[in-house]
Amino acid sequence: MSRWAPLFLLLPSLALAGPKDAEPTPFSQGGDPAAFDIPGGGSPAGAWAVAVSGGYPWSSLRAQVGIRGGLTPVLSLETALFRRWEPSLGVSGRILDRPRGRISGELLVGWTIEAGEVHQNGPRALARVRVLGILGRVAPWFSVATGHTVYVDETVRISAEGEASELSARHEWTPVIEAGVVVGITKNLGVELGFDWHFVGAPDRFALPGLRFGVHFGAGPRPAWEAP
Amino acid sequence: MRLLILLLLAGCASETTTLYEVELSGLVSFGATEGAVQIELEFAEQGEGELAHPLGEIERFEASLGEPFEHVFDYPQDEGVGLVVYAWHDADGDGALCAPGADDEPSGLIEVVDFPAHAVEVELELDAFCEGPEGLFP
């Protein structure tokens, strides 16, 4: 199957994400499953959701709690082979919310910590846009993100006159493409299969895509979908 | 502003590179021959454990045979140990050490014993032909 397959699944779904008075899908009559909240850009006020995913090379843990006002605070921890760690905090929010599709955005700030052969760490910020289609209890999604880390390097120069230190900053750009399919098993539990492609150090370095499997769960008040 | 941000992040420096400034002076000779001589500065040893190996280029520059030279360079202290000076005379000016039909280009090498030091002086007589640094060291 082509790696673009999730897109083809998604586009017709969004095309169906029509007018505001469109009927909710049967599964969402009592509210969408919590498993849709993480790829769907936020939880309803008072609801929470957690996603744990493992894969190669990226694994992640993500938790969020919905608050009033439409924004959802997010806690995220991603790691590549337990050598590169990316803990971050941020907010997620729905830009477009329809019964059969959502477009959402999020901003995360945190830190990049890289161990192993390359030791480096620095502050990081990431902006992401996600598109989610809702086909009953199945929700394919696709996202693009741009991540930026600033590393500070120190150069110590030892001369006959003494020692002098100099700091310099280095920027690392990491565009990320992700896609997956979330399946809501119950209102509170779902599973996900996805691929991710983190172009760490683009455009100077090349990266290979990865696969991951995740479990999403959550709880809290889940009102039936209402037209905004 | 930029400086302030850098200072705030100074405690979290990702990479620290230590450069040891060296003033290298000396003379490379090959009898009474004159002309350009290519000088390469190398670590005596680079790498750790099973990956350790002799030599490892630091930098290269050009000087004149039979004439004193002075050259200042930064020695990356964390990348290797020791200092080796290798030189060869590009007799035919083709930019390469020897070639089929050109086997008379002299070369030579010396390891700086009293290193590290900010001032290093070497005298090197080219006494081999067509030998690269790996053929002369260790």
* Interface predicted TM-score (ipTM): 0.79
d(CA A47, CA A65): 6
Q: CB-based burial of residue A61 (10 Å sphere; 0-12 exposed, 13-18 middle, 19+ buried)?
A: middle
Query: Which chain B residue's Cα is nearest to A169?
Result: B6
Contact between residue A150 and residue A170 where contact means Cβ atoms under 8 Å apart: yes
Integer Cα distance of A191 and A194 in angstroms: 10
Q: Where are the beta strands (DSSP E) in A25-137?
A: 48-56, 58-65, 71-80, 84-98, 101-114, 120-133
Cβ-defined contact of A155 to B21 (cutoff 8 Å): no
- How does residue B32 score in pLDDT terms, banded at 50, 70 and 90? confident
Helices (H), chain A: 5-15
Cross-strand bridge partners of residue A96: A103
Query: Residue B15 and residue A121: Cβ atoms within 8 Å?
Result: no
Q: Which helix (H) or strand (E) holds B86?
A: strand B83-89
Q: What is the pLDDT along chain A (228 residues), one digit of tens a residue?
A: 444 445 444 444 444 444 444 444 445 455 688 899 999 988 888 999 999 999 999 999 999 999 988 889 999 999 999 999 999 999 999 899 888 889 999 999 999 999 877 788 999 999 999 999 999 889 999 999 999 999 999 999 999 999 999 999 999 999 999 999 999 999 899 999 999 999 999 998 888 999 999 999 999 887 665 544
Task: Write down the pLDDT at residue A17.
Answer: 44
Per residue in B50-79, pLDDT tens? 999 999 999 999 999 999 999 999 999 999
Identify whether the C-beta of residue B60 lies closer than 8 Å to the C-beta of residue B39.
Answer: yes
Q: Which residue of A has its CA nearest to B8?
A: A152
Residue A129: the pLDDT is 97
- Mean pLDDT score across all residues of chain B: 87
User: Is residue B6 over pLDDT 60?
Assistant: no
Q: Between A123, A156, A159, which is nearest B16 by CB?
A: A156
Residues 58-117 of B with CB under 8 A from A: 74, 77
Q: Which residues contact A197 (CB under 8 A, 6 or more apart)?
A: A176, A177, A178, A207, A208, A209, A210
Q: Domain spanning A5-219 has what CATH number?
A: 2.40.160
| Domains of chain B with CATH codes | 18-136 (2.60.40)
Residues of chain B contacting residue A122, judged by C-beta atoms under 8 Å apart: 9, 12, 14
